[in-house]
Structure 1
Amino acid sequence: MIDNTLEMVRAWHHAFGVPIADDAAIPAERAEMRLAILEEEVAELRAAVSAGNMVEVLDALCDIQYVLDGTFLEFGLHPVKAAGMAEVHASNMSKLGADGRPLLRADGKVLKGPNFRPPDLTRVLRGAK
């Protein structure tokens, strides 16, 4: 069994003849379809949450991950997914407040602390070439 979602979706792309790009680029002929599918899946998640249906929540989350990984593949960003995620994670961890605690908005969203640094995804993309 494959335990990496990107590799699962890669196998699906191969089996169904769905494109996998070798180089990072936004495919004009398929980008809007990819965005529409992601939006459909997020709408399904919203409906499942509203209904309190955990089976449908799980289904929607898995579908979102599947479509998201497919978009990494079609946009040629699959070689830098791990490095991009690590860079975004490091950036997100820099949001802690000066006291090492999270700064929260009233609704619970984590805010940027004084030591926040944005992710350097340009560097990550340059490393892919």
Structure 2
Amino acid sequence: MTRPFPERIAAMNAMYRLAAHDSPVIPADFADRLTKFKATLMEEVHEIDDIVAMAGSGASKLEVAVAIADLLGDVIVYCRSEALKYGLPLEDVLNIIMDSNESKLGADGNPIYDQNGKFLKGPNYWKPEPKIRELLSKSMTNDC
């Protein structure tokens, strides 16, 4: 049986000697760490150009699907690992964000989209940050 994803991320961080915390921690070098994380994510984002180029290269739909799945999977692994380095309960944060996203429906109960397909905020939208703040304040100390 495969272990749950968060456990596998914790094992990976341990194997590669990466930080892992059970509660929120903001290290002194967080700006440098975030800059490096951004660089890693940008490398992944630039892979999208390679995938788009597959459209004219005769790649099969399966090859394109594999490339997209690998790209998205890598981004999720990087993000989950980074959250563990900061001791952030990412699954709980994601649940709050999903609840907030579900509050974006229009007054008629239908989704509202922009030209790129992004959800727009309806009249019952609420920002997730206050609930995320509440979640983190329960386990975060001032000296973290």
Aligned amino acid, residue 42 of structure 1:
V
- The residue number in structure 2 matching 1:97 is 106
- The residue number in structure 1 matching 2:76 is 65
1:44 to 47, 50, 61: 47
Cα pair 1:95 1:114 within 8 Å, conserved? yes
Report the CA distance between 1:61 and its aligned residue: 1.1
Cα pair 1:25 1:76 within 8 Å, conserved? yes
Unaligned runs of 5+ in 2: 56-63
Distance in 2 between residues matched to 1:50 and 1:124, nearest whole Å: 42
**Of the two structures, which has the highest relative contact order with CA contacts closer than 8 Å and spacing of 6 or more?**
2
- The residue number in structure 1 matching 2:59 is none
Q: TM-score, normalised by structure 2?
A: 0.76
Distance in 2 between residues matched to 1:42 and 1:103, nearest whole Å: 26
Report the CA distance between 1:3 and its aligned residue: 4.8
Runs of 4 or more off by more than 4 Å in structure 1?
Answer: none
Distance in 2 between residues matched to 1:16 and 1:75, nearest whole Å: 16
- The residue number in structure 1 matching 2:58 is none
Aligned amino acid, residue 47 of structure 1:
D
Q: TM-score, normalised by structure 1?
A: 0.84
- The residue number in structure 1 matching 2:10 is 10
Matched, 1:55 2:66: yes
The structure number with the bigger radius of gyration is: 2
RMSD: 1.9
- Give the % identical residues: 31
Distance in 1 between residues matched to 2:16 and 2:116, nearest whole Å: 42
